[in-house]
Amino acid sequence: MAELAKAHDFSFTTIDGAPMPLAQYRGGPLLVVNTASQCGFTPQYRELQSLWEKYRDSGLTVIGVPSNDFGAQEPGGNAEIKKFCQDNYAVDFPLAGKEKVTGGDAHPFYQWAADEGGEGAAPRWNFHKYLIGPYGELAGVYPSQVKPLDKSLTDDIERLLGTSKS
């Protein structure tokens, strides 16, 4: 029987066009978020950057995946998206190039995550979050309304990092 897929089996392309295999993040938690520059949730970039700054030295990686799937709220190209994120939110966490995140032609990572998470796990809007554990397992799914610094998410990140206070 073939081994079941893990998040680390997938790869994105960076916003600058370089390969971004998720296997390079093996051993630490990974937060993958579909983003958009013209959404009511766009200010979450600020909290994603704060989350990255707080936990990156402990092993967390945050990856933004721009998508135009919801409300056509990410109409720009990769260079424009990168400039927007840097100029408005000082984003320096990894950004993938623009991808489809829903439906049959969604990026394979998003198809896998929706299958792994079951009903309701597919993104329904921008800033949907997937927390991946150190071994590539799906460790949590958080809808757009859950902010990056929400206690439920940070507690799960700290648990995966082995730094929880509980």
Mind telling me the catalytic residues? 39
Amino acid at 109: F
Phi, psi (degrees; rounded to nearest 5) at 108: -55, -35
What pairs with residue 129 in β-bridges?
33, 142
Residues 6+ apart with CB under 8 A from 82: 15, 16, 95
The answer to whether the CB of 9 falls within 8 A of the CB of 113 is: no
What pairs with residue 19 in β-bridges?
13
Amino acid at 37: S
CB count, 10 Å around CB of 62?
A: 25
Strands 138-142 and 129-132: antiparallel
